[in-house]
Structure 1
Amino acid sequence: MGVTLSKGQKVDLTKSHPGLQNVVVGLGWDIGHHGSNFDLDASTFLLGQSGKVQSDQDFIFY
C-alpha cells in the first residue's frame, strides 16, 4: 500500500492496518530549478499506547 502526503498531512497506520509490524518510508521532493540552495530535513516519532513518546529513542531525524 502506498500513501502520498503533502506538507502538514498525517496518516494513522494503526487504524487502517491494526496488525502492522513493519513500515518502510521513502522521501522525495522536487525543489524545482530555482538555482538556490536548499536544506531539507525529515523527522518522525513513535507514539506508545498512551499517545505519547516513550523515550528519546522514539525520535528519528534526517
Structure 2
Amino acid sequence: AFFGIVSGILVGNLFSLLLNTGFILPWGWVIAGIIICSGVGLAAGIYPAMKAAKLNPIVALRYE
C-alpha cells in the first residue's frame, strides 16, 4: 500500500511537470481512502475469524 501511495504521488508530479500544470494532492481523499480500505480489510478479516472461533477444533480438522 505504501508503495502504491508513493508511486501515485511521483507519477502525478511527473505528469504535472510534463504538462506544465499544478499537482494538487487532496489529503482529505487520501485519508478517507486509507480509512475506508482499513475498515473493509478489518471487516473482511473479523467475520471469518469470529466464525472460525466458534467451531470445535476437532470438527474443523475432520474435514482437512
Structure-1-length-normalised TM-score? 0.29
Structure-2-length-normalised TM-score? 0.29
Point out the structure with max Rg over C-alpha.
2
Higher relative contact order at CA 8 Å, sep ≥6: structure 1 or structure 2? 1
Higher strand share: 1
Higher helix share: 2
